[in-house]
């Protein structure tokens, strides 16, 4: 198992494109994330193929449904032997605890993480969907609910990690997308930080997609990011 804090997001339309990127990366120096596009097109087979190349897999399907449905989906994901998987905290306490119960808490169960507010969400979007208060207050409330119902950590932006670490302790895993090395395009992300700033703020894992996968030399970019982390 890799010790890397870097999780590379494989947002690709097919297995060949994902495998081609994986072949340019070193499984001892990063983990991989499979999200909705790749999984919908390539299914459990791509999980197996990347595991056979020795990569730890974060299956980022953000389950959000009635408790029974999410519990069954989580059990199916755990059967794939993934390293990390997630549900959406907006499903609430009953859904979250059903997910926890479905995969158990034994030492080799996947890390079960809850998505709080997406890193693409800014205050304008937050207001437009009718949520009350501020983004940090809401992320804190959802993260406390996740912890109280047995999750191992949350997906949040690096802007919230110091606050969550102070409130929930260092064992609660903070997984942060929206990572942008200096000079890279923001794209559709809003709550962003550089890799070094995110680690300094307390992130346990950095999810990085396009800044690595769109680089001319993805492994070189990964090494540059590692060097920045010190
Ligand atoms: O709040 C969230 C949750 C998940 N993501 C996912 O992370 C990657 C980020 O990719 P970039 O190319 O580095 O923007 C992507 O797969 C998202 O689905 C997120 O960005 N924010």
What separation in angstroms does the CA of 101 have from each of 65, 66, 145? 16, 14, 16
Domains of the chain, earliest start first: 6-228 (3.20.20.70)
Give per-residue pLDDT as tens, 60-81.
999 999 999 999 999 999 999 9
Q: Whose CA is nearest to atom 16 of ligand 1?
A: 9
What is the predicted pLDDT for the residue at 203?
98
* Rounded Cα–Cα distance for residues 122 and 165 (Å): 22
Give per-residue pLDDT as tens, 71-111.
999 999 999 999 999 999 999 999 999 999 999 988 889 99
Residue 165 annotated to the active site: no
Binding-site members are 11, 33, 60-69, 119, 180, 189, 209-210
Q: Whose CA is nearest to atom 7 of ligand 1?
A: 177
pTM summary value: 0.98
Cβ neighbour number for residue 105 with a 10 Å cutoff? 10
ipTM attached to this prediction:
0.99
Residue 62 annotated to the active site: yes
The structure tokens listed for 169 are: 């302790």
Give per-residue pLDDT as tens, 12-49.
999 999 999 999 999 999 999 999 999 999 999 999 99
Cβ neighbour number for residue 134 with a 10 Å cutoff? 11
Residue 186 annotated to the active site: no
Q: Whose CA is nearest to atom 10 of ligand 1?
A: 209
> What region, left, alpha or beta, does residue 62 occupy, with left being phi > 0 and alpha being psi -120 to 50 degrees?
left
């Amino acid at each position: 198992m890799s010790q890397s804090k870097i999780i590379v997001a494989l947002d690709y339309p097919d297995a060949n494109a994902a495998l081609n990127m994986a072949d340019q990366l070193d499984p001892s120096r990063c983990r991989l994330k499979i999200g909705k596009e790749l999984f919908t097109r390539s299914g459990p087979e791509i999980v197996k193929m990347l595991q056979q190349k020795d990569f730890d897999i974060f299956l980022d399907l953000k389950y959000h449904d009635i408790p029974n449905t999410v519990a069954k989906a989580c059990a199916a994901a755990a059967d794939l032997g993934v390293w990390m998987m997630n549900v959406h905290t907006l499903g609430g306490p009953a859904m979250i605890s059903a997910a926890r119960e479905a995969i158990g808490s034994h030492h080799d169960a996947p890390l079960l993480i809850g998505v709080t507010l997406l890193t693409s969400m800014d205050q304008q979007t937050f207001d437009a969907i009718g949520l009350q208060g501020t983004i940090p207050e809401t992320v804190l409330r959802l993260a406390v609910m996740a912890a109280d119902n047995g999750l191992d950590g949350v997906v949040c932006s690096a802007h919230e990690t110091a606050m969550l670490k102070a409130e929930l302790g260092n064992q609660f895993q903070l997984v942060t997308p929206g990572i942008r090395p200096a000079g890279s395009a923001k794209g559709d992300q809003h709550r962003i930080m550089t890799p070094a700033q995110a680690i300094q703020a307390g992130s346990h894992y950095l999810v990085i997609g396009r800044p690595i996968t769109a680089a001319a030399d993805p492994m070189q970019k990964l090494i540059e990011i590692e060097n920045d982390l010190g």
